[in-house]
C-alpha cells in the first residue's frame, strides 16, 4: 500500500472511533436524561417529601440495578436459546428454558423483596402510586418511541390515568 492509502485508512479508522465514541457518549447522556425524567416523574406522582425521597431513592436504585443484572442474564439466555449459531442439544435446550423460568421466579422474588422494603419507607397509598406511576412512565416512553410528539415524559398528556393512552391525531 502506498502512503496515500495508508493515510486514508488511518483517517477513516480514526473517524469511526470518534463517531462510535460520540454515539456512546450521546447514548449515555440520553440514558442519564431519561433517568432524571423518571426520578422527577415518580417523585411528583408518588408525592415524596424530601425526607421520604432520601430514604426511597437509594432502595429504588438498588432494586433497579439488581433488575438490570437479571435482565442481562435473561438476554444472554435468550441469545443462547434462539440466536446461537450452534445448535443446542436436548439437554442444553432444557437447561436454557429452565433458566428462563428461573429468571421469572428470581424477578418475582426480587419484586416481592423490594415491595416489602417500599412498604417500610412509604405509605401504602404511595406504594400504590409508585406502581401506577412506573406503569404510566413506561407507557409514555413507549408512546414517545412509537412517534409521539413529545420529547420528554413531562411534556406528555397528563391525564393521570395510567390505563389510558393519549389518542393519536
- Rounded average pLDDT per 10-residue block, the chain, 169 residues: 55 54 70 89 93 94 95 86 75 86 95 97 97 94 77 46 38
Q: Which three cell numbers stand for residue 68?
A: 438490570
Q: Which three cell numbers stand for residue 118?
A: 417500599
Q: Residue 163 has what pLDDT?
A: 40
Q: Residue 154 has what pLDDT?
A: 47
**What ranges do the domains of the chain cover?**
50-136
| Structure-derived torsion over alpha carbons of residues 22, 24, 28, 30, reported in degrees to the nearest 10 | 70
Q: Residue 26 has what pLDDT?
A: 76
- 68 touches 60 (CB < 8 A): no
Amino acid at each position: 500500500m502506498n502512503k496515500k492509502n495508508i493515510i486514508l485508512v488511518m483517517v477513516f479508522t480514526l473517524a469511526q472511533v470518534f463517531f462510535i465514541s460520540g454515539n456512546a457518549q450521546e447514548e449515555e447522556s440520553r440514558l442519564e436524561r431519561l433517568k432524571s425524567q423518571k426520578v422527577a416523574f415518580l417523585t411528583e406522582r408518588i408525592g415524596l417529601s424530601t425526607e421520604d425521597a432520601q430514604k426511597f431513592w437509594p432502595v429504588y436504585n438498588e432494586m433497579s440495578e439488581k433488575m438490570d443484572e437479571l435482565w442481562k442474564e435473561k438476554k444472554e439466555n435468550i441469545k443462547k436459546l434462539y440466536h446461537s449459531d450452534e445448535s443446542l442439544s436436548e439437554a442444553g435446550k432444557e437447561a436454557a428454558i429452565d433458566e428462563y423460568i428461573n429468571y421469572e421466579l428470581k424477578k418475582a422474588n426480587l419484586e416481592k423483596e423490594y415491595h416489602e422494603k417500599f412498604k417500610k419507607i412509604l405509605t401504602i397509598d404511595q406504594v400504590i402510586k409508585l406502581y401506577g406511576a412506573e406503569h404510566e412512565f413506561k407507557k409514555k416512553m413507549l408512546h414517545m418511541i412509537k412517534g409521539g410528539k413529545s420529547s420528554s415524559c413531562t411534556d406528555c398528556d397528563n391525564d393521570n390515568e395510567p390505563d389510558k393512552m393519549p389518542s393519536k391525531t
